[in-house]
Amino acid sequence: MRLWVGLGNPEPGMLRQRHNIGFMALDVIARRHGFTPWRQRFKGLVAEGNVGGEKVLALKPLTYMNASGESVQAAQAFYKLDPSAITAFHDELDLAPGKVRVKRGGGAAGHNGLRSMDRMLGTPEYWRVRLGIGHPGDKARVTGHVLGDFAKVDMDWLLPLLDAVADAAPLLAVGRPEDFMTKVALLTQDSK
């Protein structure tokens, strides 16, 4: 079983924020792959499905970004999952809008959701799907950028990106992150 975690904030007014791209990605994956309806569990919302022949539990923590690890740790402990079975989908300032990178482990790079997961899991050795939202160019503007809603013009790259992530998800599920990144890049090249 794989645990795929979308990082975001649960307030209805926050749903369109750049910080919630992890929630958005899981929503599209769950729809595309016919997951069960979302239900409350592990201090979050969960849906179950099958991606690429692998059982996947999708989790959207309702604990707010800064405490995401509480929800993730509860699900990890219940299913006795190794950190390598966990993948976090999250916003990434240091990637251009629409770019995707997958890596295992590493630092939190100032991301409070990852920092909370590292603390609660006791290790950073889980997978990360870094979804580029771009940097506003000035450190003083980072918070407003991350917590700001996607603009209408962003839909030109955001919607194709979310579709591509869902289409390529089977490659991620079977442990082929390089092929996943390549497929996402190919599927989104016309939207940039």
DSSP letter for 92, please.
E
User: Exposed e or buried b for every residue in 60-70, given b needs 16+ CB within 10 A?
Assistant: bbbbbbebbbb
Q: List the end-to-end C-alpha distance of the chain, in Å, as a whole number.
A: 34
Query: 149 forms bridges with which residues in the sheet?
Result: 17
Would residue 90 show up in a list of annotated catalytic residues for this protein? no
The one catalytic residue in 19, 33, 90, 145 is 19
Residue with tokens 């190919």: 186
Q: What are phi and psi of 118, to 5 degrees?
A: -55, -45
Cite the active site residues: 19
